[in-house]
Amino acid sequence: MAPLGLSNAVARITVRPDLGAGLTSFDVMHKGGWTPVFRSVDPETEQPFGLSNILLIPFSGRVSGGGFAFDGTFHPVERNMPTEKYPIHGSGFSSVWTVTEKTNETVLLTLEGKGPGPFRYDASMTYRLEGTTLVMELTATNRAGIALPYGLGFHPWFVRDRNTCLTASSDLAWLEHTDHLPRSVEAVADHPELDFNTLRKLPSSWVNNWFAGWDRNARIDWPDRGLSVIIEASEHLDQYVLFSPSGDADFFCFEPVSHPVDAFNLPEGPIAHGMTRLEPGAEMRASARFSVRATDA
* Residues 128/272, Cβ–Cβ less than 8 Å: no
Taking 70 as the threshold, does the pLDDT of residue 297 lie above it?
no
Taking 80 as the threshold, does the pLDDT of residue 48 lie above it?
yes
Q: What is the pLDDT of residues 69-121, one digit of tens each?
A: 999 999 999 999 998 999 999 999 999 999 999 999 999 999 999 999 999 99
Q: Residues 189-205: what's their mean pLDDT?
A: 96
Q: Residue 213: its pLDDT value, please?
A: 96
- The Cα–Cα gap between 85 and 42 comes to 26
Q: Residues 203-227: what's their mean pLDDT?
A: 97
Q: Residue 63: its pLDDT value, please?
A: 98
Taking 90 as the threshold, does the pLDDT of residue 200 lie above it?
yes
> In this structure, what DSSP letter does residue 40 have?
P
Q: Residues 238-244: what's their mean pLDDT?
A: 97
Work out the mean pLDDT of the chain and round it to a whole number.
97
- The Cα–Cα gap between 65 and 86 comes to 9
Q: Residue 296: its pLDDT value, please?
A: 79
In sequence order, which residues have a C-beta less than 8 Å from that of residue 249 and are 6 or more positions away? 160
Length of the chain: 297
- The Cα–Cα gap between 284 and 14 comes to 26
Q: What is the pLDDT of residues 141-159, one digit of tens each?
A: 999 999 999 999 999 999 9
Taking 90 as the threshold, does the pLDDT of residue 279 lie above it?
yes
Q: Predicted confidence band at 2 (pLDDT cuts at 50, 70, 90)? A: confident
- The Cα–Cα gap between 24 and 257 comes to 20
Q: CATH for 4-294?
A: 2.70.98.10
Read off the pTM: 0.97
Burial annotation 143-182 (CB, 10 A radius, 16+ → b, else e): bbeeebbbbbbbbbbbbbeeebbbbbbbebbbebeeebbb
Taking 70 as the threshold, does the pLDDT of residue 6 lie above it?
yes
